[in-house]
Structure 1
Amino acid sequence: MTESSRLARQIATAIRHERERQELTQQALADLVGLRQGTLAHIERGDRLPSLPMVERLLTALGRQLRVELEPLDSHLDAALDELAEEPVLKLIDELGLDRMLAALGDLPYVLTGSTAALLQGAPLPGDGVDVAVCWRDSARLTAWLEQAYAQRWNARWAEWGSLRLEPEEPGEHRWRTRYGELRARMCDELPEPVEVRHGGRTYPVEPLVRVEVTDPRAADLLRRHRQRLASAG
């Protein structure tokens, strides 16, 4: 697969996931930006790479903006996935510091999601932080916890920790470095319906993989790669 087709697929996935999350039809989104529904369908399938102005128009209509990040080469990602697949889940949980983080969160309501949920459901994905879903109504409690945990918020503009207010209501990624490790939150109106997964005598509330693939485009892409690696291995 060429790099252009890969980029088209990633953009397509992000736009489609956000449109579906907002319960908009293709026709409704197309009308908002002055496109034909068929053109949007091609974009969402990854058949064509839209221009950057068109991507910005689509994302603006969805109340989102484009952010560019660098990531390891595919070969490095594949090597990391293969290495993680050989490790026991309990060892990965320990290396992530998951139990320490959850003990620190105490009675703050949450559901594990993203790469953390995938790990606990048998799909170990690369990640250096704990992914949780938290309700907006618990935002003040989360902020108080972040203050207690000496948190610093990730500043994507300057690619550094700090200089941003901790409150989730403030603009910026919901990503913090704390005394217990890195925490990444997806703020939502209601917590996703969890399934319970048990490891090492502990039960974890996790978002089902089928929902992770809808709510977290990055994790969804890694899950596809993970399944491809398993299939290649027979």
Structure 2
Amino acid sequence: MPPTRLAGLLGTAIREQRQSRELSQSELAELAGVSQATVARIERGERAPSIAVLERLLAAMDVQLVVGVEPLDAHLDTRIDGLAARPIAERIDGLGLDRLLDRLTDFPQVITGCAAAVLQGAPVPADTLQIALRWQDAKLFTRWLETNYGQRWNARWGEFGGVWLEPEEPGEHLWSTRYGEIRATMCDELPETIEVRHGGRSYQVVPLVELELSEPRAAELLRRYRDRQLVSDG
């Protein structure tokens, strides 16, 4: 059975929680009573864990799953088509990246996720700047958030605020700031990037081929865009 979107989302959640606790896959596997290979497959999105295994993995990290629902993504087709009809300069202006990037100078970071896809010409929806950020710079990022009125997304309340700012603390890596929202992908080392230029400005972005391997949401939208192209060409 091919990997599903849910498997990818669960894998990402497990990986982020494990890394925030500085646990290796083997250490988490031992705590949860499963094999390291099982943890690796789940984190890669290759296998959706059973409810029992998922609960054991989360309990081993002192967290629990919060379940929600949202409409199916059929509405995305209309939005993707609308974006494809707009010049790339308009898509980039709509993101408002420059105002935020001009102030993210306290630590190294690169653009990833859907924002990186947009900068490379893909007409995919992107509402938030997503950056790749090293764990070793987490404290610098926290200080930057404190200075710029940062609030972290609280999944339980469905709004920003009421949870710890620090990336090391449990929770979604999404913050609001005085300059806009930031989503962070925490990593040990920054990924390889390419340079793209628009309007006389240079951006360091994770290339599309890597986004499809490491960013489930961006990968899903890129595949959806390609599928629509095939239908149109056919």
Shorter-chain TM range is 0.7 to 0.9
- Equivalent residues of 1:196, 1:203 under 8 A apart: yes
1:57 shift after superposition: 4.8
Q: Distance in 2 between matches of 1:97 and 1:174?
A: 20
- How does 1:81-230 map onto structure 2 within 5 Å? 81-230=80-229
- How does 1:4-153 map onto structure 2 within 5 Å? 9-14=4-9, 33=34, 51-57=50-56, 66-153=65-152
1:172 shift after superposition: 1.1
Q: Distance in 1 between matches of 2:232 and 2:222?
A: 15
1:73 shift after superposition: 2.6
Q: Distance in 2 between matches of 1:15 and 1:62?
A: 14
Q: Which amino acid aligns with 2:179?
A: Y
- Equivalent residues of 2:106, 2:140 under 8 A apart: no
Q: Which amino acid aligns with 2:5?
A: Q
TM-score by length of 1: 0.78
Q: Which amino acid aligns with 1:33?
A: V
1:13 shift after superposition: 3.5
Aligned residues: 219
TM-score by length of 2: 0.78
Q: Distance in 2 between matches of 1:57 and 1:10?
A: 21
Q: Distance in 2 between matches of 1:113 and 1:136?
A: 16
Q: Distance in 2 between matches of 1:104 and 1:182?
A: 13
Q: Distance in 2 between matches of 1:125 and 1:63?
A: 35
In structure 2, the gaps of 5 or more residues are: none
1:162 shift after superposition: 0.4
Q: Which amino acid aligns with 2:69?
A: L
Q: Distance in 1 between matches of 2:122 and 2:57?
A: 32
Q: Distance in 2 between matches of 1:60 and 1:232?
A: 44
1:98 shift after superposition: 0.4
Q: Distance in 1 between matches of 2:61 and 2:85?
A: 40
1:63 shift after superposition: 9.9
Q: Which amino acid aligns with 2:94?
A: E
* CA RMSD of superposed structures (Å): 3.5
SS in 2 for 1:176: strand
Q: Distance in 2 between matches of 1:70 and 1:109?
A: 35
1:111 shift after superposition: 0.7
SS in 2 for 1:74: coil
- Equivalent residues of 1:115, 1:124 under 8 A apart: no
- Equivalent residues of 1:112, 1:133 under 8 A apart: yes
Deviations 1:142-161 (A, max 9, x none): 11111121111100122111
SS in 2 for 1:225: helix
Tell me: CA distance 1:228–1:208, structure 2 relative to 1, closer, same or farther (3 Å): same
Q: Distance in 1 between matches of 2:214 and 2:223?
A: 14
Tell me: CA distance 1:68–1:212, structure 2 relative to 1, closer, same or farther (3 Å): farther
Tell me: CA distance 1:67–1:106, structure 2 relative to 1, closer, same or farther (3 Å): same
